[in-house]
Amino acid sequence: MLLKGLYKVEFETPRRKAVGVLFAQDGMLRGGSSAFAYIGSYEQDGRSIRGKVVSRRHTNDPNFPSVFGVDEVRVDFHGSSIGDFAQVEGIAAEAPALGFKAVLTRISE
């Protein structure tokens, strides 16, 4: 199944967990949460997915801390999609010691 549509994204690092939304289409990723915007790209080969996403704070709110501990990161990720779900993991260049994992659940095409 192609990674395409609107997804709920649940992600975590050893620091904490967070949730947002992500729209995937034609190799582009766009989304965000109450405090962060996500902008990136991806490539898909069968079920395998690879990509990059920048997470950038857009609202200063201490109730929404970064899962990486910094307000802007570039994450390289890889993983796979199965039906309406995808699982990815990766590393942020700005916090390489923290592993990143995410589960994407399709909300709508």
Alpha carbons 20 and 8: distance in angstroms, whole number: 6
Q: Write out pLDDT tens, residues 55-97.
A: 999 999 989 999 999 999 999 999 999 989 999 999 999 999 9
Query: Domain with 102 in it: what CATH number?
Result: 2.40.128.380
Range of the domain at 77: 5-108
Q: How far is CA 6 from CA 21, 22, 31, 94, in A?
A: 7, 6, 9, 27
- Which pLDDT score, from 0 to 100, does residue 1 have? 62
Tokens of 55: 């997470």
Domain count, the chain: 1
**Over residues 20-29, mean pLDDT:** 96
Q: Is the pLDDT of residue 5 over 80?
A: yes
Give the mean model confidence (pLDDT) for residues 30-40: 97
pLDDT category of residue 44 using cuts at 50, 70 and 90: very high
State the amino acid at position 77 in one-letter form: F
- Does the reported pTM lie above 0.85? yes
State the pLDDT at residue 33.
Answer: 95
